[in-house]
Amino acid sequence: MRLFTSLRLPMFDRYILHQLLIALVATTGGLAALIWLTQSLRFVSLVVDRGLSLGVFLELTGLLVPSFIAVILPITTFVVVQFVYHRLAGDREIIVMRAAGMSSFALAKPGMICALIATILCYLLNIWIVPASYHSFRKFEYKIRNKMAAFMLQEGVFTNVSDNLTVYIKSKDHNGILKGILVEDDRQPTNKATILAESGNIVIINDKPQVVLLNGSREVIDKKTGRLNVLNFERNTIDLSSNKEQSARLKDATEMSLYELLHPNAQEVFDRDYGKLAVEAHRRLTSPLTILSFTMIALVSVLRGGFARYGNIVRPLGAIFTIVGLMSLILIVQNVATRNMAVIPVIWIVAILPGIIASCILFLPDINSKNNKPVPLSSPRKER
């Protein structure tokens, strides 16, 4: 409240804006926490099955929270503005303010300020925070999964480290020494190998797990002759991490910066993905603008129209269905734009036009009424 006072906002604006911001923080935080709980269930197996610590689990899943907030912020802003203003209308406070001479713009100003704050926050999330946090998440997850591969090995069990690498160990002592090792390595389709070793141990080199095999053999069948080639060794090393094609991890569109999306590297991006990257860039730029449009729709549903003594559920429901329809339309347009980049301007139109239309519906009647006010005739001067 001291911040609002320092900004010299009228008391009515401070009163409503305070309620809006508190409700926005609570609603967005609660919904983001709920989404985090549901999404983090995918990583529970890392804790239960692979012994990942709770701290690492929270750090990993916590990096997803900014992306959740960026997605739900337009929705929560609409819900908060709709709820707070509808409650004010139900308590007759808006009627009192109108009777005191406040215009629709003056009544809507706190909601628009709240929407502007949410829009700026959403731009910060979309352009800087979410790409950085999601990039850190992907790197952290990749590092953890590679490290976990070393600790997946269980005694007497054929462990599928990856789709084309299976490891079996007969026993493992308290010092971590593996006994009776069998490795089925199909990572090279033209050179599949079966490796046997008397013993070995696991080492981590550059965050990649490797098994050092001692006193064993490598058996490969020559496809041309059908002969079994056996190579005996005293020491050999098997990399348990992903192969080279997988280790050169390609960036996901969500973790790319805005510049990388608009100017992709031709060597790292397939031709079919250019549309997807362009749509992601324009989605980041337009989704904050939907906050303003959704807010104006909520304000129209409350401030425009006659007063109903026992409340009016039709206008709020109409606003909700309008938002659902707009969100569906946005998803459809984005999906079409990935295949036809000529549709990208429509993404901007769908994000901005509803807000312009709602503003005209809300403010034009007041503007016209002011322009159409009769000008009082001046009284004729008495001649002396």
Report d(CA 210, CA 146) in Å as an integer: 10
Averaged confidence pLDDT in the chain:
83
| For residues 275-302, average pLDDT | 94
Least confident window among 127-131, 149-153, 335-339: 149-153
What percentage of the chain has pLDDT greater than the value 90?
37
DSSP state, 377?
A: P
Q: How confident is the model at residue 95 (pLDDT cuts 50, 70, 90)?
A: confident
Q: Are 236 and 210 in contact (CB under 8 A)?
A: no
Q: Rg of the chain's alpha carbons, rounded to an integer?
A: 31
Handedness of CA 294, 296, 300, 303 (dihedral sign): positive
Sort strands 208-221 and 193-205 into parallel, antiparallel or unpaired. Answer: antiparallel
pLDDT band at 311 (very low <50, low <70, confident <90, very high): low
In angstroms, the CA 114 to CA 18 distance is: 9
With the CA atoms of 233, 239, 243 and 247 taken in that order, what torsion angle do they form, in degrees rounded to the nearest 10? -150
Average pLDDT of span 27-45: 88
- Nearest CA-CA partner of 110 in 186, 49, 19: 19
Q: Rounded mean pLDDT of 170-196? A: 83
Instruction: Compute CA 161 distance to the chain's CA centroid, rounded to the nearest angstrom.
Output: 30
Instruction: Return the structure tokens found at 94.
Output: 């808006």
Whether 199 shows a pLDDT value over 50: the answer reads: yes
Q: How far apart are CA 217 and CA 238, in angstroms?
A: 13
> The tokens of 260 are what?
């990388």
Say what angle helices 104-124 and 344-371 make with each other, to 10 degrees: 160
What's the pLDDT at 244?
44
| pLDDT the model gives residue 143 | 72
Q: How confident is the model at residue 315 (pLDDT cuts 50, 70, 90)?
A: confident
**Residue 304: band (very low, low, confident or very high) from pLDDT cuts 50, 70, 90:** confident
Q: What is the pTM of this model?
A: 0.76
Main-chain dihedrals φ then ψ at residue 172, nearest 5 degrees: -145, 125
The encoded tokens of residue 217 equal: 């053999």
* pLDDT number for residue 247: 44
pLDDT of residue 159: 77
Q: d(Cα 211, Cα 238) in Å, to the nearest integer?
A: 5
Q: Per residue in 233-271, pLDDT tens?
A: 888 888 776 554 444 456 788 888 898 888 888 777 777
pLDDT of residue 245: 41
| Segment among 15-24, 59-68, 195-204 with least mean pLDDT | 195-204
Pairwise CA distance, residues 137 & 126, whole Å: 16
Average pLDDT over residues 173-191: 82
pLDDT, mean of residues 94-119: 90
Task: Give the pLDDT score at 29.
Answer: 95
**Six token digits for residue 183:** 């490795």
Q: How many residues does the chain have?
A: 384
48-62, 98-112, 327-341: range with lowest mean pLDDT? 48-62
Domain boundaries defined on the chain: 7-147+251-368, 152-244
Shortest CA distance to 127 belongs to which of 10, 245, 256, 309? 256
pLDDT given for residue 133 in this prediction: 93
Parallel, antiparallel or unpaired: strands 228-239 and 208-221: antiparallel
Contact 36/68 with Cβ under 8 angstroms? Answer: yes
Nearest to residue 236, comparing CAs of 179, 196, 189?
196
- Rounded-to-integer distance, Cα 228 and Cα 20, Å: 75
